[in-house]
Structure 1
Amino acid sequence: MKKYAFNDITLMQYIFLIAGIQLGIGLLQLPRELAERAGTDGWIAIVIGFVIATCSSLMIIQVMKRHPEGTLFDLLKRYVGKWAGQAAAVVTALYFAFFSYTIMVRAVLFVRSWILPKTPDIVMLILLAVPSYLVARGGVRVLGRYAELVFYITLWMPFFYLLSLRESNWLYLLPLFKEGLQPILLAVKPALFAFLGFEVAFLLYPFLKSKQYASQGIIVANTLALLVYLHVTVTCNVFYSPDTITHFNEPSVNVLKTMEFRFIERLEIVFLAFFVIIISTTWLPGMYFTVFSINWMFGREDHRKLLQWLMLLFVTSMFFVKPSFNKTDKWIEVVNLLGICFGYLFPYVLWLYVWIHDRVQWRRRGT
């Protein structure tokens, strides 16, 4: 019997889970970060980041095919030893805990600066923590359904950005490679950070029903993130001048302030509320896989009580941590550095080890 069959997910849920994690904070700030490094050529860095992220994603799938019914921890336990699985579970739990906490706090700061400036941070975190627990306690299957639902209810949002093109200047994008290749290569770094999230495939793979389509699914997830990032970045680049876009912290939200309708005055407020829903598909899987990793170490299956403690820890931390954009920027830098090691470097190292291990075992059996 499959170990994780009780909570398996469909291919579509698998795709939207990965794409949802990728479309986190980068959706709001990526256009500015790219413009600061490469100007209007920043969209080229997104394409380069997509290629690198897709290669690393496919390497994860190739590694997980060696032990299809288990997670990364089960694979390491089989190939290296029990201690390796335990160590990986600890590191992964810490990574996803810090990752989800950073994204939640960042979402609180966005809401406070745009919608509720006088509401205490701890109150907003509680308002986010309660529904987050109700969703995450259902496990991977519920998270997959939630990610799929969020995709469908936010499918209308990119079309509103097309309205800004009436006042845009496409000549801002020309000529290509204005300052050479070096600025674009420097902009690849934030682009790689924006595509982080595919590393969750290390833990999602055994839950997938149709594992033969895992590679195609992760390519589709990366492509969805690519299309969204390109759409938002190009729209901001042709709407703002190359010098103006860097003056806005979240240009993808500011561009909406120019749109007005008779039935609504501040469209960006409505969009920001939906942006928070999109960002929730980033921190929710992080929360779940934090407690999943801890439960794996102790051989437990019920994650609800541990999830309650995690939520309580997040909320009480607000009494001691006074979050700010500058402080969370430093946290995001740490998360990104860990993500580069975990998502972009570790799959190749693990694949090489597994390949050598299997070759050695094959030769031993041959003799």
Structure 2
Amino acid sequence: MKKYAFNDITLMQYIFLIAGIQLGVGLLQLPRELAELAGTDGWIALLIGFALATCSSLTIVAVMKRHPDGTLFDLLKRYVGKWAGRAAAVVTAMYFAFFSYSIILRAVLFVRSWILPKTPNFVMLVLLAIPSYLLARGGIRILGRYAELVFYITLWMPFFYLLSLRESNWLYMLPLFKEGLQPILFAVKPTLFAFLGFEAAFLLYPFLKSKQYASQGIIVANALTLLVYLHVTVTCNVFYSPDTITHFNEPSVNVLKTMEFRFIERLEIVFLSFFIMIISTTWLPGIYLSVFSINWIFGKADHRKLLQWFMLLLVASLLFVKPTFNKTDQWIEIVSLTGIFFGYLFPYLLWLYVWLHDRLRWRRRGA
């Protein structure tokens, strides 16, 4: 009997879970970050980031095929030893916990900045933590359904950005490679962080029903993320001048302030409410995967009690930490550097080790 069959997910849920983790805060700030480093050529860096993320994603799937009914920890326990599996579980739990913590506090700051400026951070975090717990306690299948639901609910949003194209200037995009290739290569770093989320496949793979489509699914997830980032980045670049776009922290929200309808005064407030739903598909799986990693160490299946403690510590942390945009930027930078190793370098090292291990064992049997 499969160890994780009780909480399996469909291919669509697998796709939307990975794409949801990837979108996160990059949806709001990535256009500005790319413009600061590469100007209007930042969209080219997105293509490079997509290619690198896809190669690493396929490597993860290739490694997990060696032990399809287990997670990364089960695979390391089998190939290296019990200590390696436990060490990886601790590191992974810390990574996803800090990742989720940074994202959810960033969401709190966004909401306070745009909608509820006089509401204390503690109250905002409690309002986000309660529904987060109610969703995460249902397990990965419920989170997969939620990510799929959020995708369908927010499917209309990209079409509203097309309205801004009436006042856009496509000449801003020309010529290509304005300052050469070097600025584009510098801009690849924020795109690598923007595509982080595919590394969750290390833990999601055994839950997937149709494992034969895991490679296609993770490619579709990366492509979906690429299309969203390209759409928002290009729209902001052609709407704002190359110098103006860097003056806005969240240009993808600011561009909506120029749209007016008779039946609504501030369209960006409505959009930001849906943006929070999209960002929630980033921190929710991260919280669950962190708790799941700790439970794996102790061999427990019920994650709800540990999840309760996680949410309580999350809220209580505001008694000692006062989050700011600059501080969360520093945290996200740390997460980015850690994620680049975990998502982009570690899969190749692990694949090489597993390949050599199986090769040597096959030779010993042949001898």
SS at match of 1:318: helix
Amino acid at match of 2:256: L
Are 1:197 and 2:197 an aligned pair? yes
SS at match of 1:161: helix
CA deviation profile, 1:101-145 (whole Å, cap 9, x unmatched) = 100000000000000000000000000000000000000100000
2:236 corresponding residue in structure 1 = 236
Cα distance, 1:68 vs. partner?
0.2
Cα distance, 1:173 vs. partner?
0.1
Are 1:75 and 2:79 an aligned pair? no
Amino acid at match of 1:338: T
Give the Cα–Cα distance (whole angstroms) in 2 for the partners of residues 319 and 55 of structure 1.
42
SS at match of 2:187: helix
1:98 corresponding residue in structure 2 = 98
Q: How does 1:60-209 map to 2 (within 5 A)?
A: 60-209=60-209
Are 1:352 and 2:352 an aligned pair? yes
Give the Cα–Cα distance (whole angstroms) in 2 for the partners of residues 96 and 52 of structure 1.
21
Give the Cα–Cα distance (whole angstroms) in 1 for the partners of residues 340 and 290 of structure 2.
18
2:328 corresponding residue in structure 1 = 328
Cα distance, 1:305 vs. partner?
0.6
**Structure 1 unaligned blocks of 5 or more:** none
Amino acid at match of 2:213: Y
Give the Cα–Cα distance (whole angstroms) in 2 for the partners of residues 249 and 291 of structure 1.
32
Give the Cα–Cα distance (whole angstroms) in 2 for the partners of residues 185 and 357 of structure 1.
35
Question: RMSD of the TM alignment (CA)?
Answer: 0.3
1:268 corresponding residue in structure 2 = 268
1:6 corresponding residue in structure 2 = 6
Cα distance, 1:364 vs. partner?
0.4
1:20 corresponding residue in structure 2 = 20
Are 1:338 and 2:338 an aligned pair? yes
1:221 corresponding residue in structure 2 = 221
CA deviation profile, 1:295-320 (whole Å, cap 9, x unmatched) = 00000000001000000000000011
Give the Cα–Cα distance (whole angstroms) in 1 for the partners of residues 9 and 295 of structure 2.
20
CA deviation profile, 1:67-118 (whole Å, cap 9, x unmatched) = 0000000000000000000000000000010000100000000000000000
SS at match of 2:261: coil
Cα distance, 1:345 vs. partner?
0.3
Give the Cα–Cα distance (whole angstroms) in 2 for the partners of residues 263 and 307 of structure 1.
42
* TM-score scaled by length of structure 2: 1.00
Cα distance, 1:350 vs. partner?
0.1
Give the Cα–Cα distance (whole angstroms) in 2 for the partners of residues 19 and 110 of structure 1.
21
Give the Cα–Cα distance (whole angstroms) in 2 for the partners of residues 291 and 227 of structure 1.
31
Q: Which structure 1 residue ranges, 4+ long, deviate > 2 Å from structure 2?
A: none
The percent identity for this pair of structures is 86
**Structure 2 unaligned blocks of 5 or more:** none
